[in-house]
Structure 1
Amino acid sequence: MQSELMNAYYRDTWVEINLTAIERNVRSLYELYKDKGTEVMAVVKADGYGHGAYEAAQASLVGGATFLGVAILDEAIELRRKGITEPILVLGRTRPTDAALAASMKIAVTVFSLTWLKEAETVLKSNEPLSVHLKCDTGMGRLGLIDQAEIETVSLFIHQSEHFDFEGLYTHFATADEIEIEYYDEQFQQFKELSKILEDHGISVPYVHCANSAAALRFPERAFSMVRFGISMYGLSPSPEIKELLPFKLEPAFALKTTLAQVKKLPEGKAISYGATYVTKQDEWIGTLPIGYADGWIRSHSTNGGTVLIDGEEAPFVGRICMDQCMIRLSAQKHEGTVVTLIGVDQSSSITMDDVAKRLETINYEIPCVISKRVPRLYYRDGILASVKNPIQ
């Protein structure tokens, strides 16, 4: 079995995904909320933040999640076609012309427009009801209704229509991952007020949700009937600032590795890579790695002091990162084929997703999302290789 899985990809650069870590992260949140009766939505949009949507969804369901969240209808359809039967919500906009398709596949969609609902009704006339979650904009400035009168009108329309199942009401926080919570408080209080509109009209929905990973971890007393667990189900803190405030330790699930494709000793004065931006200062051992910006390992890694780990030691990038390859400076001669860690643990050393994000002056969310699909994903459960995903094979 192991040899068959290893033959499912043919390059020496790969991602390792720890499914057990995802299960444990979700289980820890589930345990935090189980006595409150609050359900957990596992957010697996963007191919599970680069981890693999289907695999992450399965792991999260084992961990206690009961609902899945995606960004677009295509992502929900992919999960259905792969056999996922649990409830799914599309968090982004779905075309009203696709309402019947969503309903037929029992996929809930986000709504925030009376016009959209009326257009969707025209294609739902002879179909089963479409489950919808009404989105309120309490300060994010993206999708959602702001005006209370409009929220009341749309809520009543959904409630009174035979073509819709009013399944949820929700909003999204803009600053729950920051130390200062004044703006978060304002959003939360506004959402509480908006939710009373439904209560005042006797409308009850199964799912009221506002907490993203940061809010769910920091403010469990402020959860409603469901919380949305996104970045932190993959073992990453929503921000470095609140890492020490989290109620339990998160287990990172993502590691990126490659190998030394070639090792050679270059004399002083030799230029390396495009533009000849790096010139050896003395005799130097240079290792070539089979990973580049086409894999999502962008050129900035070599201009911002980026390093990798090899045999537990740091090795810096030298010269510009190419489309498919890059170079590092070695402390000594190494064997070709030696494993190199770009993200993850190597002996007693590690390079975390936060380390890489800081290097690139971005957030940890972005890093796994941009590692391209041509990098195969190897899925491990309890330390044993369970499956391999290689979309370009």
Structure 2
Amino acid sequence: MSETAAQSGAPLRARAEIDLAALRANVRTLRALAPGAALMAVVKSDAYGHGAVPCARAAVEAGARWLGTATPEEALALRAAGIDDVRIMCWLWTPGGPWREAVQADLDVSVSGMWALREVVDAARAVGKTARVQLKGDTGLGRNGCQPGADWAELVGEALRAEAEGVVRITGLWSHFACADEPGHPSIAAQLSTFREMLAYAERAGVRPEVRHIANSPATLTLPEAHFDLVRTGVAVYGISPSPEIGSSADLGLRPVMTLSASVALVKRVPGGHGVSYGHHYVTPGETTLGLIPVGYADGVPRHASGTGPVLVGGKWRTVAGRVAMDQFVVDLGGDEPAVGSEAVLFGPGDRGEPTAEDWAQAAGTIAYEIVTRIGSRVPRVYVHATV
């Protein structure tokens, strides 16, 4: 076990325990679902809040051949940490980004428009090194990506000219689904059709990509026809189901990697009619005990879960009583008196009867992706099973 806590062994106000053995098992499960494709473990947003560098290393140990990040800064940080024996792709660029550094670090960079192609070509010429470029098509998500038709033809043509000059290598052609987490949604088949058309055009023009990819976590789990050469698995790597419609983590053979817990900071008996937290949105219905949990929205506990968020304390599910504050919230213990310092588990795999990230997502009206990703830097990450 390794801790980010300043004092090893010191009691922690809160902790996010990251089970790297579970992460490695999830990667192996996902690889088995797409045996004909390489696997990219997406570690953007600090590995969905789990810690990018430890999670990236564990994913590679389990057979991930690619790592994916949103920003180039995230990708460069992986290289700076010594993660050199794997391909790394980054896709969210803005004008003036660190193109030269990316080329020098052998990153695969995504290009969705002519401005980006021009900037990466200029960077490659400046450093005297061929840039690895992946062309992204917008097949129907309506975010990043080049539009089909004339725009795609122009981008492909210019990229091929740059490749003939030796300044870029077109390593990939890719896109992203809008509704793969909604099985049977008509956009899925439409996007696959458009993607195949865009691939066919580029390949007729002379592009010979190393990888073609469109499958995110839900498509990896449910759409084998979308696997192509590479699958990009994000939230599933961390043991979270992309959607309740697809199935629970257990249904999918995945194990949640993060367990978020805190130490109970105070237990006190109060009379009926006692207001709790800001605004007194909760008033005790009778004499009871209250427990103070020392985490709040500054730590990533969603304020939208005020009055609904579940917590396991003393072996029982409790519910956030009143508003979640910046640094703390309260639970009504119903007369029970667990010891101060005892564990309050906000979410985990569910093995001990504790809530899951999906339970918090339901309580806050959001998705489990957001629940884990928003856990802030004040909460130390404690890594278990760090060695294989």
- Fold match by TM threshold 0.5: yes
Structure 1 equivalent of residue 68 of structure 2: 69
**1: distance between equivalents of 2:91 and 2:118?**
20
- Cα contact 1:97–1:123 (8 A) shared by 2: no
**1: distance between equivalents of 2:250 and 2:324?**
36
Structure 1 equivalent of residue 12 of structure 2: 11
**1: distance between equivalents of 2:351 and 2:154?**
60
Distance 1:12 1:131, change over 3 A: same
**2: distance between equivalents of 1:87 and 1:3?**
28
**2: distance between equivalents of 1:82 and 1:270?**
52
**1: distance between equivalents of 2:145 and 2:20?**
34
Which residue, out of 284, 289, 294, partners 1:290? 294
Residue 320, structure 1, aligned to residue 319, structure 2: no
1:57-136 equivalent positions in 2, closer than 5 A? 57-85=56-84, 86-96=86-96, 98-127=98-127, 128-136=129-137
**2: distance between equivalents of 1:322 and 1:57?**
33
Q: Which amino acid aligns with 1:227?
A: V
Greater mean deviation of Cα atoms: 115-124 or 224-233: 115-124
Count of aligned residue pairs for this structure pair? 380
TM-score by length of structure 1 reads 0.91
Structure 2 equivalent of residue 243 of structure 1: 247
Deviation at 1:267, TM superposition (A): 1.8
- Cα contact 2:181–2:246 (8 A) shared by 1: yes
Which residue, out of 192, 208, 213, partners 2:212? 208
Distance 1:347 1:181, change over 3 A: closer
What secondary structure sits across from 2:377 in the alignment?
A: coil
Distance 1:275 1:256, change over 3 A: same
Deviation at 1:380, TM superposition (A): 1.0
- Cα contact 2:27–2:64 (8 A) shared by 1: yes
Deviation at 1:281, TM superposition (A): 2.4
Deviation at 1:194, TM superposition (A): 0.6
Deviation at 1:6, TM superposition (A): 8.1
TM-score by length of structure 2 reads 0.92
What secondary structure sits across from 2:82 in the alignment?
A: coil
Structure 2 equivalent of residue 390 of structure 1: none
1:39-50 equivalent positions in 2, closer than 5 A? 39-50=38-49
1:165-187 per-residue CA deviation (whole Å, 9 max, x = no partner) reads 11110000001110223210000
Deviation at 1:53, TM superposition (A): 1.0
- In structure 1, runs of 5+ residues without a counterpart are 387-393
Q: Which amino acid aligns with 1:77?
A: L
What secondary structure sits across from 2:56 in the alignment?
A: helix
1:109-188 equivalent positions in 2, closer than 5 A? 109-127=109-127, 128-161=129-162, 162-188=166-192
What secondary structure sits across from 2:292 in the alignment?
A: strand
- Cα contact 1:218–1:247 (8 A) shared by 2: no
Distance 1:252 1:265, change over 3 A: same
Which residue, out of 371, 374, 377, partners 1:370? 374
Distance 1:245 1:231, change over 3 A: closer
Greater mean deviation of Cα atoms: 268-277 or 316-325: 268-277
Deviation at 1:94, TM superposition (A): 4.5
Q: Which amino acid aligns with 2:120?
A: A
What secondary structure sits across from 1:350 in the alignment?
A: coil
1:32-81 per-residue CA deviation (whole Å, 9 max, x = no partner) reads 333x2x10011000110111111111111111110011010110111111
**2: distance between equivalents of 1:4 and 1:187?**
43
What secondary structure sits across from 2:173 in the alignment?
A: strand
What secondary structure sits across from 1:174 in the alignment?
A: coil
Distance 1:3 1:265, change over 3 A: same
Q: Which amino acid aligns with 2:318?
A: A
Deviation at 1:260, TM superposition (A): 1.0
Deviation at 1:345, TM superposition (A): 5.4
Deviation at 1:245, TM superposition (A): 11
Distance 1:197 1:245, change over 3 A: farther
Q: CA RMSD in A?
A: 2.2
Q: Which amino acid aligns with 1:83?
A: G
